[in-house]
Structure 1
């Protein structure tokens, strides 16, 4: 009961925007809750997803859902807070094709987490950060090398997506090494 699973309508819209399919890559599902977004990404072709949630019951739920889908070998599941998890994956030298960012709405952590993601250079050149939030939430236009790419509304839920900018040229990455479809 402490998780807020992404509705099917919002999940479908997210994957229609960023996919619908991946050819490879790694995903990070912060505030994983039930694990629905990360599991969906695995089912659509990501090689591996790292699931993180601070709540022990949520982590148990993710483990059960991953097992029910037979995806244990392609998932890493951790109980940790988001900030520490971001620092830990940075130490491992990981970069992600997609990062799902869905913190509890009342905590308003989006700006700080986006800054950490950018500061640790955790997003591949062609990757995307998907931030789920309540409609009306103030998310930054830019955070480090991340820039808002799309913003959509689905009832009371907002989805804002960020892409890396090419700091050398000052414009968005051209997606040359894109593992996601080029229409991004």
Structure 2
């Protein structure tokens, strides 16, 4: 795994061995950012199920100002910290070491890009988006990127957001919601 493009482009990313996380492949990561960007002019990123941190790091590499990563797995947290150090811009990243539901209750800032890639066994996307919208944590121009198993059917609309783009990549499906 590596950062695909931007300021950190080409730098290697560590990933967690085993089945606890499913790192997004470089191919899918590149495709996601080509769908939504591919580059940004500032903004805040929320990566609610950070895994290795690769998606949030890619977003900052491509121009987002800062990223908040949430991860409950201790081994994954260690990998995220190593990957953040690799950027040499640690001040752009915050890591919250807790479950997503606990983090959602504590959030108090508005996000321009939300990355939702929960473990396939625990699909939480609809409730996560509803929670973020209800608490007014989504900017007017927000992009919500959801990565799921290709068999998962998400609703056309969630909390005032509608599917803008959707595409399958192997066993994964990427769905992007906008206002």
TM-score range, shorter chain: 0.7 to 0.9
Residue 10 of structure 1: how far off its partner (Å): 0.7
Structure 1: how far apart are the matches of 2:167 and 2:49? 20
Residue 73 of structure 1: how far off its partner (Å): 0.7
Q: Which deviates further from its counterpart, 34-43 or 133-142?
A: 133-142
Q: What is the aligned-residue RMSD (CA, Å)?
A: 1.0
Map Cα deviations across residues 102-133 of structure 1 (whole Å, 9 max, x no partner): 00001121121121122112211111000000
* TM-score, normalised relative to structure 1: 0.84
Map Cα deviations across residues 119-178 of structure 1 (whole Å, 9 max, x no partner): 1122111110000000010212111122111111001100001112xxxxxxxxxxxxxx
Structure 1: how far apart are the matches of 2:123 and 2:59? 25
Does 1:34 pair with 2:49?
no
Does the residue aligned with 2:41 lie in a helix, a strand or coil?
coil
Structure 1: how far apart are the matches of 2:138 and 2:28? 22
Q: How does 1:11-160 map to 2 (within 5 A)?
A: 11-89=29-107, 92=108, 94-160=109-175
Unaligned runs of 5+ in 1: 165-184
Structure 2: how far apart are the matches of 1:65 and 1:51? 12
Runs of 4+ in 1 over 6 A off after TM superposition: none
Structure 1: how far apart are the matches of 2:147 and 2:50? 12
Residue 71 of structure 1: how far off its partner (Å): 2.4
Residue of 152, 161, 164 corresponding to 2:176: 161
Does the residue aligned with 1:100 lie in a helix, a strand or coil?
strand
Unaligned runs of 5+ in 2: 1-17
